[in-house]
Chains A and B, each alone.
Chain A
């Protein structure tokens, strides 16, 4: 009896955990020939390896009673490439606790059974896949196990070897249990009593292999032999892969969702009415007062402007900032204007040979808004002329 108690097995992939078996509880009785079926990648071989004790489950417990073979597979697993066939047999015998004569007997029996001839004493790395499988099969068949695990081994070897394996299987089936993975449903139907269907991270035991085959056909959408609508093409059912998302996968999903949201927003924005473009507001220049135009008739308000003009809806801090900027611009403008007037007045005073005016210079405080340089000159303070004084000096500089 092989019992799987809440067994979970997964493999780590770049997208997270890929569950082959998830929380599977199963009892496989010995004394029956069992076929394991399922689609490619469903986890048949993994289940076989777990039951054979070659692999560990990530969670759960597997209990076994009896002597079990290793999984006999096409790749000849268990066979070491840098040893000869003979040495591999000795190795397998030692692992199973054989000593001395027992090993010699086994070596000669395997030599006869495998029919490898000269290759028996050559390195296994020189073997073909069929020869490897033949050696592996010969070693396994010459041990007495309570249960044999066969992983698609029937597809290998020549006709003679296949016939030989079938004969051996037939002889062994009377005393031992065979748990066999195969895609050949016909063959399973002939040789097996019970079945295990591995699908969607679950394994189900069927007392009758035909039930397992029918369930498998239903799962893959393949029409059965007894199906009346066999000619009608059946749409394949897609089984969702059970996969726990890793952190990276979650992040990628979130990113994709965000992009989709942005795209949707763009689409909805494109569908909405186009807002009327608003002309940029020029800062008003001081001193330049535009003549007031007659008020225009009110225009229809665009949806985007329904709340008010940009100036109306601008916050207080922005208003204050703009006012300050405007004041600064005014001051700069005034300053430039004053400098201009002063320069002109000085030039006029020099031209009129008015040394007092030149000496005293024009200060900003003398400036009067709205007066021309000539008027300023006229207003400029003059000293009373001194008759004893020499004629005024010529203007050198402002200093």
Chain B
């Protein structure tokens, strides 16, 4: 591997110096790439940014209207818009990266000519940009619901909810690394991803309360790790009752495994990623 060796220092100091230098270098690169991502979007006009912000909301509004037309306005005493928004938000956190990261490396191919920029920086910067856009979009939506429609629910347990959000981000980053690496190496994979995400979405419990389902059906749906994350998010936000099949440990193990697999995928293919 390529490595820059500065003037010799005692080993512990040298290690600290390398960590600090590496952190500074990486943060500079990430900031520059985030700036570049922003410039890339803004160069396409304000509509491009608006579409990025509205895209997650369209799904929430569509499914909420569907339930509204069937006469359901509340789920377990919670406004159904918020109920669906919480589920779709968790789903979007995970799958926005799933959808956007495969093109991150090829979009930054030119700047990989700088020795400071590595493919992981391209993946991370896009991940950060997408997540920031999603969080802005979601918080704006919640604020609009509260301000204009007087629809709001207090957060029962904020810290565990933050933990669940971090869990979502971990799963998202892991999946994003996997699809970012293999989607760049094998273009055909991107076409397959659409088929994979759709059934996961409909079995994730994002659109309906799981407690109303039969035990047999819940046991089948419990294979989907996203269901556990969404149910726990609702539990900590609205205080909904958890079904006996819901297990946080399963979701945490899945997140760790996916992140590990993502890091391994990147590490194993890092040479191929920089080759043109």
Contact = CB atoms under 8 A, between A and B. Distances in A.
Contacts, number: 91
A247 B225 CA distance: 41
B103 to A, nearest CB: 13
A166 B120 CA distance: 37
Contacts of A55: 271, 274-275
A336 interface: no
Contacts of A81: 110
B2 A56 contact: yes
16 contacts: A53-B2, A54-B274, A58-B271, A61-B1, A65-B5, A68-B4, A73-B113, A77-B110, A80-B108, A83-B36, A83-B43, A90-B35, A91-B35, A95-B28, A95-B116, A97-B28
A56 B271 contact: yes
Contacts of A339: none
Interface in B160-194: none
A64 B2 contact: yes
Given A62-B1, A65-B4, A83 B40 contact: yes
B25 to A, nearest CB: 7
B39 interface: yes
A94 B32 contact: yes
B32 A91 contact: yes
A70 interface: yes
A79 interface: yes
Contacts of B35: 90-91, 94
A130 B130 CA distance: 35
Interface in B113-145: 113-117
Contact of B110 (A50, A57, A80): A80
Contacts of A70: 113-115
A87 interface: yes
B8 to A, nearest CB: 10
Interface in B24-46: 24-25, 28-29, 31-32, 35-36, 39-40, 43
A21 B113 CA distance: 20
Given A64-B5, A82-B40, A92 B114 contact: yes
A54 B112 contact: yes
Most buried by B among A71, A79, A91: A91
Interface of A: 11, 50, 52-58, 61-66, 68, 70-71, 73, 77-83, 87, 90-92, 94-97, 123
B111 interface: yes
A83 B42 CA distance: 10
B216 interface: no
Given A62-B1, A83-B43, 12 more contacts: A50-B2, A53-B2, A54-B113, A54-B115, A55-B275, A56-B274, A62-B3, A65-B4, A68-B115, A81-B110, A91-B36, A94-B31
Contacts of B32: 91, 94-95
Nearest to B117: A95
A142 B173 CA distance: 37
Nearest to A71: B113
Which range holds the interface residue count of chain B?
20 to 34
A102 to B, nearest CB: 12
B270 interface: yes
Interface of B: 1-7, 24-25, 28-29, 31-32, 35-36, 39-40, 43, 108, 110-117, 270-271, 274-275
Contacts of B5: 63-65
Contacts of B271: 55-56, 58
Nearest to B111: A80
Contact of A78 (B6, B28, B114): B114
Contacts of B108: 80
Contacts of B114: 54, 70, 78, 92, 95
B166 to A, nearest CB: 28
A142 to B, nearest CB: 15
B28 A91 contact: no
B230 to A, nearest CB: 37
Q: What are the 6 tightest A-B residue pairs by CB atom distance, in nearest-first order?
A: A77-B113, A94-B32, A78-B113, A53-B115, A53-B2, A62-B2
A52 B40 CA distance: 27
A64 B3 contact: yes
A78 B111 contact: yes
Contacts of A97: 24-25, 28
Contacts of B7: 65
B29 A95 contact: yes
B53 to A, nearest CB: 20
A57 B270 CA distance: 11
A81 B109 CA distance: 10
A227 B108 CA distance: 49
A263 to B, nearest CB: 41
Contacts of B270: 56
A73 B110 CA distance: 12
A95 B29 CA distance: 5
Contacts of B36: 80, 83, 87, 91
Nearest to B3: A63
A70 B116 CA distance: 9
A53 B113 CA distance: 9
Contacts of B116: 95-96
Nearest to A50: B2
Nearest to A98: B28
Contacts of A65: 4-7
Nearest to B32: A94
A55 B116 CA distance: 11
Contact of A11 (B40, B115, B275): B275
Contacts of A96: 28, 116
A121 to B, nearest CB: 12
Contacts of A82: 39-40, 43
Nearest to A54: B115
Contacts of A54: 112-115, 274
A92 B111 CA distance: 9
Contacts of B39: 82-83, 87
Nearest to B116: A95
A98 to B, nearest CB: 8
Nearest to B36: A91
Given A83-B43, A90-B35, A95-B117, A78 B29 contact: no
